[in-house]
Structure 1
Amino acid sequence: MASVAVIVGGAVVNALAFSGSNYLFSMLGGSDAAEERKRHDAATERLQAAHVKWAQRRTVRLDWINEELHRQTHAVQTFRDVDAAIREYARVTGKELGSLDPEPQLSDFYTPSDAQKDREIAFVVLGMAATGLLAYKLSR
């Protein structure tokens, strides 16, 4: 029975913490939060499109290498890792293939504004101060 109380209590505390943090973050957001959200969402969409193209190029490269190794009867295994396949292809055939472009990251498409960074820092500092104050009050 005590474990049920702990689970329910933890869920309530978790819900209150997330609700409170969302409220505080919206209060710190100011008027440009909607603009920042639009920038972030657009960057996320561009990231998803770039990731799909990267995954297709990766699959095509991997399939080509596997087919070449099988065609030349050098294949001992079918590769799932592009880098390992490129190394094996170079070792077997003596031909160097260029490496695949790095996987796209959100930082390639989106950089938070200075105001956003300031709000995040303020949120962390206020959250740490509130947690410290709560711990201090509860320990007395």
Structure 2
Amino acid sequence: MKSVRLFDYISFESDSWQVVAQDGPELALKSLTTNRIRRVPVADLLADESYLPDSSDRLPSLDNVAVLDTLDPTTREQTITLHRHVYEVLNGVPRAMARPRSSRRTSTASTTLWNSASTPRSKNYGVRARRWARAL
């Protein structure tokens, strides 16, 4: 399924664009080659065969996000904590222990926290893990 988000980089009609604004059902796209701004209805963009979205498997990152500065301290801490937990579940290690991307090997099914939690180590543990996995 195709989707588009604010600040995504996309390919559209043989050019590279960045989504810089949204006004109702219309997007403002900035050309990365000419810096020209173009307004396109969202439906037309998603239906066009030349539209190629940014990788859909990428996750939002909280690195250099100015929106965190606008949150009250309690909400900010809760957001950062949740982000750390999601990172750990998806990557198998806490963010603080993660190696730089260039030296990190790709995560396999056996190394992720999700799979290690669902792999029974003892009979009792396996039942709890399966219940936890079903709850998600």
Q: TM-score, normalised by structure 1?
A: 0.22
Q: TM-score, normalised by structure 2?
A: 0.23
State the structure with more CA Rg: 1
